[in-house]
Amino acid sequence: MISWKNPTKEDRELGLEDYRQLGVMAALGVVAAIMPHQKVHGVGYCLGGTLLSIAAAAMARDGDERLQSITLLAAQQDFTEAGELTLFMNESQVHFLEDLMWSQGYLDTKQMAGAFQLLRSQDLIWSRMVQEYLLGERAPMMDLMAWNADATRLPFRMHSEYLRQLFLNNDLAEGRFRVEGRPIALTDIRAPIFAVGTERDHVAPWRSAFKIQLLTDTDVTFLLTTGGHNAGIVSEPGHGGRSYRVLTKGAEDRYIAADAWCSVARKGDGSWWPEWIAWLGERSGAPRLPLRMGAPGYEPLADAPGQYVLQP
């Protein structure tokens, strides 16, 4: 699991390529050094899933076969149907954000969180104002809400590239996104994909995440679960009221539109996690004991939870 650094103004020039190389590829390099000749089940959540898609397409282009499978959790590759967030994103708004980030070197957590709260203002702003300010009834803190409140900043260059190349221009889905000076194509990916969307996702609408089936030529298992962007993913077994739909599209199968998919996908009750575990198990070798922490040359740098998570 990668613990992302919370960037400061000194990190303003870190771009998407830095996140790919210093995050995804560096982690794969360490895994290969400690466990040579072993393939990896890659998992990416939200923007991490978009970065994993970029890395996987570049690896496929270059003949790098270290990925055994790819799991994308509430992640987008095509941004033409990004939901209500498109109301906030146009050329003038991106230009405004770039000016704002240029002066401080990053997008602040409060600025980013505010935009997402507006997408669900009834739940995340007004109902809370009535409950806490007018009625004086403060809801107890939950572990999921505490995690949700622990946001991270985004460096100027990386966020600008994300907004312009991916969100406005849709370069990744349309084959214009470049890695190391050459374009990548999601159709090059051959590792099987497990993609998860959530019914009430206000950040990565499920119909947008669903498009991974249209953009790739590999086996894609798409699972749609109840809940939203956070609670729908962090949906442990035993969590009441959960259900999901799931269907696998083979590389040779015809594409099914999102609404038609809902009518034919298999229904399941409860958490979707066991479904994913079974899918991974079918694509894994025999179980083995985990390695001890601290392989030669890769001793732990600090006690858990590490250094980045403690940064202000």
In angstroms, the CA 60 to CA 216 distance is 12
Phi and psi dihedrals of 245, rounded to 5? Answer: -125, 145
Residue 135: CB atoms within 10 Å: 9
Contact between 223 and 245 under an 8 Å Cβ cutoff? The reply is: yes
Question: Which residues belong to the active site?
Answer: 46
Q: Which two tokens stand for residue 194?
A: 């497990």
Contact between 210 and 128 under an 8 Å Cβ cutoff? The reply is: no
3-state secondary structure of 238: coil
Torsion of CA 60, 62, 67, 72, to 10 degrees: -50
Q: Which two tokens stand for residue 128?
A: 């809370």
Contact between 271 and 235 under an 8 Å Cβ cutoff? The reply is: yes
Contact between 215 and 82 under an 8 Å Cβ cutoff? The reply is: no
Contact between 255 and 227 under an 8 Å Cβ cutoff? The reply is: no
Categorise residue 180: left if φ over 0, alpha if ψ from -120 to 50, beta otherwise. Answer: left
Residue keyed to tokens 């990548």: 184
